[in-house]
Amino acid sequence: MTTPIYYVNAEPHLGHAYTTIIGDAFTRWHRLLGDDVKFRTGTDEHGLKIQQAADAAGMSPQEFTDSIAPKFSHAWDRLNIAYDDFIRTTEPRHVAAVQELLQRCYDAGDIELDVFEGKYCVACEEYYSDDELVDGLCPIHRRPVEYFEEENYFFRLSRFQDRLLDWYAKHPTAMKPEHRGNEALGLIRGGLRDFSISRTSIDWGVPLPWDPTHVAYVWFDALTNYLAATGFGDPDRDYTEWWPADYHLIGKDILRQHCVYWPAMLMSAGVDLPKGWAIGGWLLSGGEKMSKTSGNTVKPLDLIEDVGLDGFRYYVLADTPYGADGDFTYEGLVGRYNADLANNLGNLVARVATVVDRKCGGVGPAPDPASTLAAAAATAVADTTTHWDNVQPSRALEATWQLIRATNAHLEQNEPWKAEPGPAVDAVLGDALEALRIIAILASPAIPDTAQQVWERIGMPGAVADQRLPAATTWGQYASGAPVVKGASLFPRIAS
Ligand code: MSP
C-alpha cells in the first residue's frame, strides 16, 4: 500500500494528511483481515520546484530537503500512521531504482532524443498544450506557465495507447472509484503524447545512466519510488517479494501520471503493473484545493489539539466519500465530533459502564445468543467489510456507526437503568458489551487508540488490533465476568 510522496517545498498540511490517514486506516483494516501489509510513504525531493524553494530559502537543495523531510515523518508519527517505510527520493536506493528503470525503458527503445518546446507549470511539474490552459494559465494552479525549449529525451507514450486500454479492459476494477477510473480511460482514449523525461537546464535530479548531462524529469523519478521501496535496482534483493503493489492511493490531480504514464513505463520496462489505484478527491478550503500555492492550508497538528488525535482522524475518514471533493470547515469538524463521537460512541461507552457498575457490580454479564442486536451486528460487519473493500472509508464508518445507533436504541428500549438487577438487565447489558466489543474491532482502523481504550474498559484482554476478521466479529464472544471500567469521558463535548 502506498501514498504519494509529498513535495518538500511545503510543510505537511491537511491535504497531505488526508491521503496518508486513509492509507493508514486501510492498512490497519487489511491487517485485521490477516493480510501481511507493508505501508510506505515518503517525500519527493528532486525537480525544479524544490530547487527554486531551496534557492528562495538560501540553502542548497540537499540542505533544504533535509530540513523539511523530517517534518513529514514527524507529522505522520503524531497522527499515528503505521507506515513501515519512509522513502526519500534523495536516498541511494531510490537513485539506483530510477537508473535501472530508465535503462530498461531505454534498452526497450522507448526513450529517444528529441527537441522539447512548450509550456510548463512548475507547481505541477507538468507540460500543458495550449488547449489545456485556462485563459493561458495552468488549469490547476491558475498561475502563468513557463515556455521551455531544450533537447530532451522523450518517453514514447504514444506507443502504449492500445496496450493500456487492453490492460484496463482486463482489469476493470483496478481503478477505484469507477468515475475516477473513467477519467483516466478518457485521457488514454483521447490520445497519448510522448513526454519529455529529462532536463539539461537543471541539475537537481538523477543523472540518466547513458547520458549524465541530463537529469531525469521529476515525475519519472518520483513514480519510481514505488519500485525502489521494494528493492528494485538492488542486485541483492528480489523486488517481486513486495511488488506489484496492491494499492496506490493518490489524489485526482496526479491521475495522469499514475494511471497513464506509470503503467506505460512499467510495461516498457517489463515490470508487472500495480494491482490497484484508489483515487481521492481534494479537500477544499473556502472552495479551493488546499495548497501552499493558494495559501489556504490548515496544519493538521493544530487540529489535534482541539478534537484529539482520533477525533481528527475520524473526521478525515468519515466526512468525505472517497473520490469526491470535500470542503473543510472548522464547524464541520466540531459538528461531526460532537454528533458521532461525543453523543454516539462516547455516550454509549459511558452509559454502559455506568449501568454495569450500578446494576451488575461493575462486572460484565454475558450477551444473549439470540439477541435482536445480533442481526444488526452481522449487518454492520458485512457492510463495513464491503465498503473497506471498495476503499470507501466514510461508508465503512457509517456502517459501523449503525451498530452504535442500534445499541443505543436497544438500551433505550429496554431501559436497564430503571429495572431491578437480574437476568433481564444482565442480558441487555451483555448485549451492549458484546456490541461494543465488535464496534471496537470494526472502528480500530480509524480510531486505533480509542478502540483500544474501549476494548480495555469492557474488560477484554490484549490488543484489539490483534483480532482477526471475520472470526472475531461473530456474535456472542464477550466473556462474562470481566471488570468493566468507567474511566474519563472518551470524547468530551466541544462547545460549538
Ligand atoms: N510529489 C507529487 C506526487 C508524486 S507521487 C509519485 C505530488 N506531491 S504533493 O505533495 O503536491 O501532493 C501529493 C498528494 O497529496 C496528491 O495526491 C494530492 O492530491 C494530495 N493532496 C495535496 N493537497 C490536497 C488536498 N488539498 N486535498 C486532498 N489531497 C491533496 O503531487
Q: What integer pLDDT is reported at residue 38 of this predicted model?
A: 98
Nearest-CA residue for ligand 1 atom 16 is 251
Q: How far is the CA of 363 from the centre of ligand 1 (A)?
A: 49
Residue 491 CA to residue 264 CA, distance in Å, equals: 48
Q: Which pLDDT tens digit goes with each residue over 304-351?
A: 988 999 999 999 999 999 999 999 888 899 999 999 999 999 999 999
* Averaged pLDDT, 137-159: 92
Strand order in the sheet with 248-251: 175-176, 277-280, 248-251
Residue 121 forms beta bridges with which residues? 126
Q: Is 290's C-beta closer than 6 angstroms to any atom of ligand 1?
A: yes
Total count of residues recorded for the chain: 496
Nearest-CA residue for ligand 1 atom 6 is 223
* Catalytic residue annotation: 13, 16, 121, 124, 138, 141, 289, 292
Q: Which residues contact 457 (CB under 8 A, 6 or more apart)?
A: 349, 353, 484, 485, 486, 487
Angle between helices 48-57 and 61-78 (to 10 degrees): 100
Contact between residue 253 and residue 123 where contact means Cβ atoms under 8 Å apart: no
DSSP labels, 388-432 = HHTT-HHHHHHHHHHHHHHHHHHHHHH-TTTSPSSHHHHHHHHHH
Q: What integer pLDDT is reported at residue 292 of this predicted model?
A: 64
Angle between helices 300-318 and 14-32 (to 10 degrees): 50
Q: Is 4's C-beta closer than 6 angstroms to any atom of ligand 1?
A: yes
Q: What integer pLDDT is reported at residue 118 of this predicted model?
A: 84
Percent of the chain with pLDDT over 90: 85
Q: Which pLDDT tens digit goes with each residue over 2-26?
A: 999 999 988 899 899 999 999 999 9
Q: Higher model confidence: residue 199 or residue 450? A: 450
Q: Is 222's C-beta closer than 6 angstroms to any atom of ligand 1?
A: yes
Q: Is 125's C-beta closer than 6 angstroms to any atom of ligand 1?
A: no
The predicted model scores a pTM of 0.93
Q: Is 19's C-beta closer than 6 angstroms to any atom of ligand 1?
A: yes
Q: How far is the CA of 4 from the centre of ligand 1 (A)?
A: 7
Nearest-CA residue for ligand 1 atom 12 is 6
Q: Is 254's C-beta closer than 6 angstroms to any atom of ligand 1?
A: yes
Say if residue 207 is exposed, middle or buried (CB neighbours under 10 Å; 0-12, 13-18, 19+).
middle
Q: How far is the CA of 91 from the centre of ligand 1 (A)?
A: 21
473: cell is 466479529
Q: What integer pLDDT is reported at residue 295 of this predicted model?
A: 67
pLDDT band, very low/low/confident/very high, at 271 (cuts 50, 70, 90) = very high
Q: Which pLDDT tens digit goes with each residue over 44-60?
A: 999 988 999 999 999 99
Q: Ligand 1 atom closest to Cα of 252?
A: 19
- Buried (b) or exposed (e) across 452-476, using 16+ Cβ within 10 A? bbbbbbbbbeeebbebebeebbebe
